[in-house]
Amino acid sequence: MAELQNQVVADEELLEEDIENPDFMEVDKLQDAGINSADITKLKTNGITTIRGVQMTTVRNLSKIKGLSEAKIEKIKESANKLLPSGFITGMELDAKRKNVVRISTGSKEFDKLLGGGVQSMSITEAFGEFRTGKTQLSHTLCVTSQLPVSMGGGNGKAAFIDTEGTFRPDRIKAIANRFNVEGEAALDNITVARAMNSEHQFELLNELAARLCEERSYRLVVVDSIIALYRTDYSGRGELAERQQKLNQMLAKLMRIAEEFNVAVFITNQMCADPGAGLTFVADPKKPIGGHVLAHASTTRLYLRKGRGETRICKIYDSPDVPEAEAVYQISDGGIMDANE
């Protein structure tokens, strides 16, 4: 126990160093450059809480914020670029930044090996599959493992869970926490949960989350289970498909900004649908993930989960810039995701 406490202290010191990372700068710094506090508050209300967030937001989108004139936006952009220069850097400098990436364990050693160590921060990891393949159970497991010390495959931080289907279960968190010798109540206290009622509310929750992440630099994981459910409900039929994809794209772009700004791992689950054209091309698996190219391009790593023999499940790397295409076998237990032979 003493060894675990010492490791937690050491990890906290590492996190403190991460907080002082020059790439992270709160939007309040704009006040030093002559931007008034009222305009800064407007930025925060719209989920823009860091200087990097200002740089990532287009002039067009900034102009949609009520009360920001063209002249103000120009001054805000100019001030942000002076405070935090953005441009070309060397490969070595990028390599140094990538060393801040945190890998969070899935609970299964084989699964972690498949991902190169676990679910990565500064990126979006998408898991899609049919029902009962473990998408929500993986989400719950990550919420617990993200709190573990770095030496134990965790992120030594808190988790935020956006629930779009009413799937979050405190009892599951307690059971999984018990497996990792973590007090259930403490594990739940380190998870922030929000129930999204519709797709617009889902986007609004991201603005609120960005403000929370800026205030508390202790978060290491953001989960959205599932990313597409409310969009399928709010936008039905081919006539609304284009608008749905546009709104979904904005949601994913916001998640990517959050992942990069705050060095958190974003884990999203997705559903599947039958592909009516698969039979004509003799495709072995006639199912495909929902969301089309918008979701495919936004997700850094895509995982295809499917049922195996008995209680086992199989994860396949569907697309990733970090690891090659491969498969891993896992199972769902009372303690969450674990290796099939445990």
3 state DSSP class of 4: helix
- 56 and 150 part of one domain: no
pLDDT at 341: 81
How many independent structural domains does the chain possess? Answer: 2
> Are 50 and 147 members of one domain?
no
Q: By percentage, how much of the chain surpasses pLDDT 90?
A: 74
**What Rg, from alpha-carbon coordinates, does the chain have?**
21
Same domain, 207 and 319: yes
Confidence band, pLDDT 50/70/90 cuts, at residue 238: confident
Q: Kindly tell me if the per-residue pLDDT of 97 is higher than 80.
A: yes
Provide the percentage of residues in the chain whose pLDDT is more than 70. Answer: 89
37-73 pLDDT per residue, tens: 999 999 999 999 999 999 999 999 999 999 999 999 9
Of residues 296 and 17, the one with the higher pLDDT is: 296
Q: What is the pLDDT of residue 131?
A: 87
Residues 53 and 173 in one domain: no
Residues 200 and 302 in one domain: yes
pLDDT beyond 80 at 274: no
Q: Same structural domain for residues 72 and 119? A: no
Domain range spanning residue 150? 100-339
Q: Confidence band (pLDDT; 50, 70, 90) for 199?
A: very high
Return the SS3 of 6. Answer: helix
* Same domain (yes/no): 51, 120: no
Q: Does 120 map to a domain?
A: yes
* Per-residue pLDDT tens over the stretch 165-196: 999 999 999 999 999 999 999 999 999 999 99
Q: Give the span between the Cα atoms of 219 and 196, in whole angstroms.
A: 20
Which of 13-17, 154-158, 172-176 shows the lowest mean pLDDT across its residues? 13-17
Continuous segment of H or E residues that includes residue 51: helix 51-56
Q: Is the pLDDT of residue 236 over 70?
A: yes
Q: Are residues 172 and 268 in the same domain?
A: yes
Q: What is the mean pLDDT of residues 252-276?
A: 90
In a domain? residue 144? yes
**Residue in this structure with the two tokens 């295809």, named with its chain if needed:** 304
3-state secondary structure of 288: strand
Please tell me whether residues 52 and 118 are part of one structural domain.
Answer: no
- pLDDT value of position 51: 93
Q: Are strands 272-274 and 287-289 parallel, antiparallel or unpaired?
A: antiparallel
Global pTM?
0.88
Answer whether residue 135 is part of any domain.
Answer: yes
**Residue 94 maps to a domain:** no
- The answer on 321 and 227 residing in a single domain is yes
Please report, for the domain that includes residue 172, its CATH number: 3.40.50.300
